[in-house]
Amino acid sequence: MEKLITRAQQGEKDAFGEIYLLFYKKVWRFIYFSFWDKEQTSDLTQNTFIKLWKSLPSFNVERGSLQAYIFTIARNLIIDESRKKKESLLDEALEIPSKENLEEDLDRKEAAERVQKALANLEPEEKQIIILRYFEDLAFADISKILKTKEGALRVRVHRILEKLKEELKNEF
C-alpha cells in the first residue's frame, strides 16, 4: 500500500486508480447511510477522490492510515453538503433501476432499509461512528482521527450510542 501511495503522490494515475478501486465502495456506502440520497452520494463519492488526488501529496503515512484520511475527506464533504440541503425522506431515496433484477434488488432494498431504520434515531455523527466501527471495522484510533476527538471520549460515546440503539434493535430483530 505504501508503494501505491507513493506512486500516486508522484502523479501516477494508474496507482491512484488502484486506490480508487480499493476504497470507492466503502466511501459510497459511508456517504449513503450518512446522507441517504443515492444521486448525491455518487457525486460526493467522486468528489472525495478528486479531493484526495489534490491533497495526497501532503498525506503522510506516519500520521494515520489512508483509509482514515479518505473517510475524513468524505465526512467533510457530507458536512458541507448537509448544510446546503435538508435530509431526504426515506422513501424518496431508494429508487429501483428499471433494467435490473427486481427481486434481487428488492432484497437489497430491504437490507438497506433495515440498516437505515436501525440508525434512524441517531444523530448524523453517531451514525458515522457506528458505520465506521461496526460496518467498516475501523480501529478507534482511526475513527478518533476522522472525528477529531480523543480516543477515550470516543469509546465513551460508543457506549452511549449502543444504549440508544438498545431499544431500536430489540424491537426490530
Partner 1 sequence: MNFEDIEQKLNNLKADYQATKLPRDLEEKGLWEVLGKLEERKVRFSRRPFWFASATLLMIIVFGLLAGWKKVEAALPGDSLYPVKRFSEEIVSKVSKDSQIKVENRAKEVVDLVEKGEENEKALKETAKEYEEEIKSAKEKLKSEKRQEFNKKLERHQEEFKKVIKKSSSSNKQVEEIIEANKKIREENEENKEREEEKKEEERENSKSSEKD
Residues that bind partner 1 (CB under 8 A): 10-11, 13, 16-17, 20-21, 24-25, 28-29, 32-33, 38, 42, 45-46, 49-50, 53-54, 57, 97, 100, 105, 107-108, 111-112, 114-115, 118, 130-131, 134-135, 159, 162, 165-166, 169-170, 173
Q: How far is the CB of 59 from partner 1 (least distance, A)?
A: 13
Q: How far is the CB of 110 from partner 1 (least distance, A)?
A: 8
Q: How far is the CB of 67 from partner 1 (least distance, A)?
A: 16
**What is the distance between the alpha carbons of residues 90 and 83, in angstroms, rounded to a whole number?**
19
Q: How far is the CB of 85 from partner 1 (least distance, A)?
A: 19
Alpha-carbon torsion (61, 64, 70, 76), positive or negative: negative
Q: How far is the CB of 68 from partner 1 (least distance, A)?
A: 19
Tell me the one-letter amino acid at 36: W
Kindly tell me which of 29 and 157 has the beta carbon lying closer to partner 1.
Answer: 29
Kindly tell me which of 17 and 152 has the beta carbon lying closer to partner 1.
Answer: 17
Strand boundaries in the chain, DSSP class E: none
Kindly tell me which of 25 and 150 has the beta carbon lying closer to partner 1.
Answer: 25
Kindly tell me which of 62 and 148 has the beta carbon lying closer to partner 1.
Answer: 62
Kindly tell me which of 80 and 113 has the beta carbon lying closer to partner 1.
Answer: 113
Asked if 141 and 67 count as a contact pair (C-beta separation under 8 A), the reply is no
Which of 167, 154, 93, 89 is CA-nearest to residue 125?
Answer: 154
**Burial profile 14-30: b = 16 or more Cβ within 10 angstroms, e = fewer:** ebbeebbeebbebbbbb
DSSP notation for 3-21: HHHHHHHTT-HHHHHHHHH
